[in-house]
Amino acid sequence: MTVAGCFVTLVGPWPTYKSSFEDRPYYKEALAVIGRHRQRSSHGSPVGQFEAGWGSRSITPPIGTPLAGFEDRQGKPSKGVHDELLVKALAVSDGTDTAVVVGADMLIVPENVAELVRAHVSQRTVLTANEILFNASHNHSGPGAFAPGFASRAFNGSYDPNIPDFLARAFTEAIVEAYHSLEPAKMMYGSVDALEYIRNRTRSDNPVDSELSYMLVEQEDGDSCFLVSYSAHPTVLGPDNMQFTGEYPGFLVRRITEKTGAEAIYIGGAVGSMSPRPPDGGDSFDRCRAMGVALADKVLEAVVDATLFKDKVDIASIGFPIKLPPFQLRLNKNLRVSKFLLPVLGIDTDGWMHAVRIGDIALVGTPADYCGEISVDLKSWAQNHSVDLWVLSFNGDYVGYISPDKYYYDKDEKGGYGYERGIMSWIGPDQEAFTVSLITHMIDVLFSESPENL
């Protein structure tokens, strides 16, 4: 093979593809996994007493560790800690099935960390990968240096193998604490609109997922925990910030704890294309605080007269690795980068899908910056099926941005595909249809033949 031939094979360009996914082995295999879950699941059986427990650990790394999220930081060392970074876990059980929801003050939960945590947790509990739903707030002022590869280095700083180990230990301790803290409890949930704090940064006139979702669990002794989700990017602070902080989600959970004494866990929603609109006034940290406090107060106002608690709640979960459509990082309409460049970039060829049922709630975890526009449509579909859907991102793997298929070939004002549909779009023209199909199939399985929906 000539030098030119080797270059094209290993780097590119390769021709782009437009093929569908329905007849592809990777899609059929994913549906088969979901189908097998239907056969072995127990969520159609009588529901026992609801139980809940929670745990928390610090994930604030040593000062000097790069911050994650902004390429403009150029991997420079952090300079301090504004507020503590945390990973928190909420365990829930119906006496038969158990699931754990993990929320971290991180950009993403990288695959290497998720795999370490699953291994560690399995040595100390009976929990399986199927029962642990990871999530990150998408904090752009959290720990970097967590993964190898060119792409991670550009946004998160040079890889430090000590960081994944440090993070995995903290995650594990939080999960184990939550699991061993399971006690009889009751729960309630709801949502409020928070349109004033979010905008569509990619298509300004298009929909936003402005739903601020919450769940409140209360143990018999009165201890309680909030689970809260919203879809605005935690990017009130820009690349000029060099201090570790939980950003507006950190202020949100601290406000809830200060006002109620309860634990509070934040999980990032469908953040793709969704930017924050913090209140005006003061510096960036003032705006972070104002946004977090305002969102927390919306939740607290909504639950002040809460009476619709349930103590018998069906729990079910499904989590599994998926193979993806062929890698497609486009150079232009007709050409893409070679798939053999993926190891250099630090991008793999698989992903992960996850869904957890807690009563009428479906928490769906995706391995991406999942677009809020898609989430709006999915939530409408779910509502018609009597399901309260929370669409989440960063579930322990990362495959780039998932954007609406109808915009895949649209050019921006510069004649390119832009950030979300260009450099961060990796799995081809059917990314929405492919993931939506898996999501709706998972929800169908988790809510089929359930006493709560008969």
The b/e string for 78-111 (b: 16+ C-beta within 10 A; e otherwise) is beeebbebbbbbbbbbbeebbbbbbbbbbbbbbb
| Residue 373 structure tokens | 């526009």
Q: Which residues, in sequence order, are bridge partners of residue 214?
A: 190, 228
- Per-residue burial over 210-226, b if 16 or more Cβ lie within 10 Å, else e, is bbbbbbbbbbeeebbbb
- In sequence order, which residues have a C-beta less than 8 Å from that of residue 118 and are 6 or more positions away? 128, 129, 132
Q: Would you list the domain boundaries of the chain?
A: 17-327+341-454
Q: For the chain, what is the HEC assignment?
A: CCHHHHHHHHCCCEECCCCCCCCCHHHHHHHHHHHHHHHHCCCCCCCCECEEEEEEEECCCCECEEECCCHHHCCCECCEECCCCEEEEEEEECCCCEEEEEEECCCCCCHHHHHHHHHHHHHHCCCCHHHEEEEECCCCCCECCCCCCHHHHHHHCCCCCHHHHHHHHHHHHHHHHHHHCCEEEEEEEEEEECHHHEEECCCCCCCCCCEEEEEEEEECCCCEEEEEEECCCCCCCCCCCCEECCHHHHHHHHHHHHHHCCEEEEEECCCECEEECCCCCCCHHHHHHHHHHHHHHHHHHHHCCCCCCECECCEEEEEEEEECCCCECECCCCEECCHHHHHHHCCCCEEEEEEEEECCEEEEECCCEEEHHHHHHHHHHHHCCCCEEEEECCCCCCCEEECCHHHCCCCCCCCCCHHHHHHCECECCCHHHHHHHHHHHHHHHHCCCCHHHC
pLDDT of residue 453: 40
Q: What is the pLDDT at residue 414?
A: 84
Which among 54, 50, 357 is positioned nearest to 225, based on CA atoms? 54
Calpha distance 221→444 (Å, rounded): 35
400/347 Cα distance (integer angstroms): 9
pLDDT value of position 103 = 99
Task: Provide the 10 A C-beta neighbour count for residue 192.
Answer: 15
The tokens describing 425, both together, are: 């779009």
Please give the chain's pLDDT, 454 residues, in tens: 565 555 545 566 888 888 789 999 999 999 999 999 876 666 556 789 999 999 999 999 999 999 999 999 999 999 999 999 999 999 999 999 999 999 999 999 999 999 999 999 999 999 999 999 999 999 999 999 999 999 999 999 999 999 999 999 999 999 999 999 999 999 999 999 999 999 999 998 999 999 999 999 999 999 999 999 999 999 999 999 999 999 999 999 999 999 999 999 999 999 999 999 999 989 999 999 999 999 999 999 999 987 789 999 999 999 999 999 988 989 888 888 888 888 888 888 899 999 999 999 999 999 999 999 999 999 999 999 999 999 999 999 999 999 999 999 998 888 888 889 988 999 999 999 999 999 999 999 999 864 344 3
Distance CA 452, CA 454 (A): 6
Burial class (CB in 10 A: 0-12, 13-18, 19+), 405: middle
Is pTM beyond 0.75? Reply is yes
